[in-house]
Each structure stands twice: as structure tokens, then as C-alpha cells.
């Protein structure tokens, strides 16, 4: 298949998304699908996946755990189903510079 967006953080950290917003990671010379659906992705040097969904909500993922970060005008932390959600008072551009590619 084809990817509409790809992000390379290092030789070993490569991710991309296709036209169906399916997430893929390049591992051992092959693309493997990752659970979830994101419109744009980036991956940090320490292996944390960042992405934006169809509703412009920002997500992070590490070690098969997903935490969702909503960008509101307040800051509070809640726990839902063993995953932490944090609201921040910031703009999208201050959080993920790498996601500017393809926007």
C-alpha cells in the first residue's frame, strides 16, 4: 500500500499513515500496522509516538499504552481505564513541531 505521510526520527524509528489513517511502523525491513487511527504522526527520539486524529486531537503512545492530550484552556489530569489524560493550555505548534509536515 501507499503512505500519505511518513516521519523518520532515526534509522530505527520510522512511522507513517495511509489514506485510511492506519498507522504503520517500519521494523526489520517491513511495515507493520499499529493499533489506532491517526491523520498525521511523528515519533520522538525516545520512541514516543505522537499523532493528530480527524478531530485535531493530539495523542501520544508508548509501550502499547495510549494517552490522549486535549488542548483546552485549563490544565487538569484525570485517569480513565488505567490511561492518563492531561489537558494543557498551549497551542498545537508548541507541542508537536514535527507534525507540520503534510498539513
- pLDDT profile of the chain (103 residues), mean per 10: 88 88 88 90 81 90 49 38 39 41 43
First to last CA, the chain: 21
Cβ-contact 87, 75 below 8 angstroms? yes
Domain of 13, CATH number, reads 2.20.25
Using a cut of 0.85, tell me whether the model's pTM lies above it: no
| Cell numbers found for residue 68 | 490522549
* Burial class of residue 2, CB neighbours in 10 A (0-12, 13-18, 19+): exposed
Q: What confidence score (pLDDT) does residue 94 get?
A: 37
Count of domains forming the chain: 1
Strand-pairing partners, residue 34, are 23
* Structural domain range at position 16: 5-100
CA 103/CA 86 separation, integer angstroms:
24
Amino acid at each position: 500500500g501507499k503512505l500519505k505521510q511518513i516521519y523518520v526520527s532515526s534509522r530505527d524509528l520510522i512511522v507513517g499513515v495511509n489514506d485510511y489513517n492506519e498507522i504503520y511502523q517500519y521494523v526489520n525491513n517491513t511495515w507493520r500496522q499499529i493499533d489506532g487511527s491517526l491523520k498525521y504522526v511523528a515519533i520522538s527520539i525516545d520512541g514516543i509516538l505522537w499523532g493528530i486524529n480527524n478531530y485535531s486531537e493530539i495523542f501520544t503512545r508508548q509501550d502499547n499504552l495510549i494517552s490522549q492530550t486535549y488542548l483546552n484552556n485549563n490544565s487538569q489530569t484525570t485517569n480513565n481505564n488505567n490511561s492518563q489524560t492531561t489537558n494543557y493550555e498551549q497551542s498545537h505548534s508548541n507541542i508537536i513541531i514535527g507534525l507540520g509536515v503534510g498539513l
